Chains A and B, each alone.
Chain A
Amino acid sequence: MFVSDFRKEFYELVQSQRVLLFVASDVDALCACKILQALFQCDHVQYTLVPVSGWQELETAFLEHKEQFRYFILINCGANVDLLDILQPDEETIFFVCDTHRPVNVVNVYNDTQIKLLIKQDDDLEVPAYDDIFRDEEEDEDLSGSEDVDGSEPSEKRTRLEEEIVERTLKRRQRREWEARRRDILFDYEQYEHYGTSSAMVMFDLAWIMSKDLNDMLWWAIVGLTDQWVHDKITQMKYVTDVGILQRHVSRHNHRNEDEENTLSVDCTRISFEYDLRLVLYQHWSLHESLCNTSYTAARFKLWSVHGQKRLQEFLADMGLPLKQVKQKFQSMDMSLKENLQEIIEESANKFGSTPAFRYQHPFLPFTSLLWVYTFFMPSFHCLSCFRSNLDKLYLGLELAKKQLQAIQQTIASCLCTNLVISQGPFLYCSLMEGTPDVMLFSKPASLSLLSRHLLKSFVCSTKNRRCKLLPLVMAAPLSVEQGTVTVVGIPPETDGSDRKNFFGRAFEKAAESTSSRTLHNHFDLSVIELKAEDRSKFLDALVSLLS
């Protein structure tokens, strides 16, 4: 069931108990967890924290801990599957699920006792009505109710019997029709996977309701939202709407800057809101590197080709930015160039949009919120608090992020130059071979998804085939050589105004079933699976015929 009063029905319940937190390994989950941890620490709620990267880990950890806890909180996992069926908990156990995965499984929605969904209901959920999918079994037993009535005429008995038969047949037909409708309704509901409001924002909202929100928590909420945006999980419109919501909180927390008399001391951290360039990590890199490694610019300029590189240089020359300046570290660029950069670029490139973004101002170093570093720096709670202490970890993360981005662009370049992206009819397909440089980097679902999306964007710019531009992409990368498995990821097509809905989850399931391919749906996103390499061809064939 959906929780309506987060404070009474969730927080106050767990406050006096010990809880176990299962946290998925995406950035939004980490941020939500940080906010919740801060609240728990403030109120002395004892908890145990278990990070989980997939269903196997979650199930194992649950079995280990189920005797010791009654309340479990799941962050960014669990909403889109029948949780009770998978985990088989005791009757006393209660799960609080704060998850962005949609659609929410109908069993989770209609279970009143053990599943409590920490999900805002104004997120277009479109859950089917109860009566359309659940039916009391007892209704059907009435069919066999009528007994013989003593003392009645044989002829009367016969007509009554006939009536009964007619009634029974009618009911059976109604039942079949109901079941057919139910299948259709469930199919429509569960067909497309997408994402709802950031869990970090949900947790921040809870903190705010309880008047326990802090600037730090607000920052984490911002990072969580940005993570969704960076990974194309939400539409532009949703991002802008949510940014508006957070901006109001930012003003509320940080307005003291504007009043001359009551300025915050220099030592305090401040969050400010401004429009910023959509160039990845540009403040911590050189402008040139940033242009080469941002998916948008790399795709538009077609930087995998020599011609494309030349175009970039012309573009820079056009804007009056000397190559030498542009190739050095951004911080060392001439002040005059830095200050007017946004205007310069906007003038030269129409579509080179700037995007609303938040800036977190550390006393000594400004950071923008388009922090890809969080995306790549594997789960580390330290990282999120590291603005104050531990700047080394942050810088290490930045370097890792840069390496990953460069690896992505290089892989894209090689895929496009060697025509590895082929059309299978209803979708595009690309498979990374073993031995490709950095291929093990992409065995992780998050990296592979990122690579796939960037590849699709670049491919769309590179191909002249109009039909191909509208196709979704399926991408495979080797996972384990010993076990002979590959990771397969499905990405929705790249269109303006795409609603980011992904049908590959169900499609993969069906294709695997029909060919008895050995697959493992370990990841919380249904559109990512592990597959035995030997089953690859028949799986793909089934997928093609399914989607044609």
Chain B
Amino acid sequence: MFCEKAVELIRELHRAPDGQLPAFNEDGIRQVLEEMKALYEQNQSDVYDRLLRIRALRWEYGSILPSTIQFHMSAEEMEWFNHYKKSLATYMRSLGGDEGLDITQDMKPPKSLYIEVRCLKDYGEFEVDDGTSILLKKNSQHFLPRWKCEQLIRQGVLEHVLS
């Protein structure tokens, strides 16, 4: 039980008559300090875990996070996320010659430029290269460039049809 020892120490001090100083309970204090340290470390690992998850979200959702997720993040976490974004962008720019290489695309080695996908949910309009849009309705099937579909496949809106 957390804080038991700490409460005990406080009670001891309280029990002593006014003004008197009981013996310095070195053991007790040390135990409490250790408990405090353990709790602090656990909190730290929880925060760290959150940061790892936020980092994964960058790879899943792209550089703009959905507002529902942003709502769950603290200001410091947002700041951390922005720093991470910047580092990743700098790194990507340094790869692949002048233009840089977007390594968040093509998580698995692609077999072809275009893929056949089936729409699993009603998504609505989806913009394509030439500026026009396609209607993604449930159960419709489309043949589109792989890179356009990746995000939606990861989100579960589209499903890759293997023929």
* Chain A residues packing against B (C-beta within 8 Å): 18, 37, 40-41, 44-50, 64-65, 67-68, 381, 385, 389
Contacts and interface: CB of A to CB of B under 8 A. Distances in A.
Contacts of B141: 48-50, 381
B67 interface: no
Contacts of B137: 64
B133 A68 contact: yes
Q: Chain B interface mostly helix, strand, loop or mixed?
A: strand
Contact of A41 (B128, B132, B133, B143): B143
Given A64-B135, A68-B132, A68-B135, A49 B140 contact: yes
Closest 6 CB pairs of A and B: A49-B141, A48-B142, A47-B143, A44-B114, A385-B163, A46-B143
Nearest to A47: B143
Nearest to A20: B134
18 contacts: A37-B116, A41-B116, A44-B113, A46-B128, A46-B142, A46-B144, A47-B142, A48-B134, A48-B140, A48-B141, A48-B142, A48-B143, A49-B141, A49-B143, A50-B140, A68-B132, A381-B141, A389-B162
Contacts of A37: 116, 143, 163
Contacts of B132: 18, 67-68
B145 interface: yes
A40 B135 contact: no
A6 to B, nearest CB: 20
B114 to A, nearest CB: 5
Q: Report which residue of A40, A44, A46, A385 has the largest number of chain B beta carbons within 10 angstroms of its beta carbon.
A: A46
A67 B142 CA distance: 16
Q: Report which residue of A40, A49, A67 has the largest number of chain B beta carbons within 10 angstroms of its beta carbon.
A: A49
A291 B141 CA distance: 40
Nearest to A50: B140
A68 B143 CA distance: 15
A63 to B, nearest CB: 11
Contacts of B113: 44
Q: Report which residue of B113, B114, B130, B145 has the largest number of chain A beta carbons within 10 angstroms of its beta carbon.
A: B114
Contact of A46 (B135, B140, B145, B163): B145
Contacts of A48: 134, 140-143
A67 B127 CA distance: 13
A389 B163 CA distance: 9
Given A37-B163, A381-B163, 6 more contacts: A18-B128, A41-B114, A46-B145, A49-B140, A49-B141, A68-B132
B126 to A, nearest CB: 10
Interface in B102-130: 113-114, 116, 128, 130
A527 B149 CA distance: 42
A40 B162 CA distance: 15
A487 to B, nearest CB: 24
Contacts of B134: 18, 48, 68
A46 B114 contact: yes
Contacts of A50: 140-141
B46 to A, nearest CB: 45
B97 to A, nearest CB: 25
A512 B69 CA distance: 60
Contacts of B162: 389
Contacts of A49: 140-143
Given A18-B128, A46-B128, A65 B143 contact: no
Nearest to B118: A49
Contacts of B143: 37, 40-41, 45-49
A388 B48 CA distance: 48
Contacts of A45: 143
Interface string B141-163: 11111000000000000000011
A41 B117 CA distance: 12
A514 B135 CA distance: 42
A80 B60 CA distance: 49
A106 to B, nearest CB: 33
A415 B134 CA distance: 50
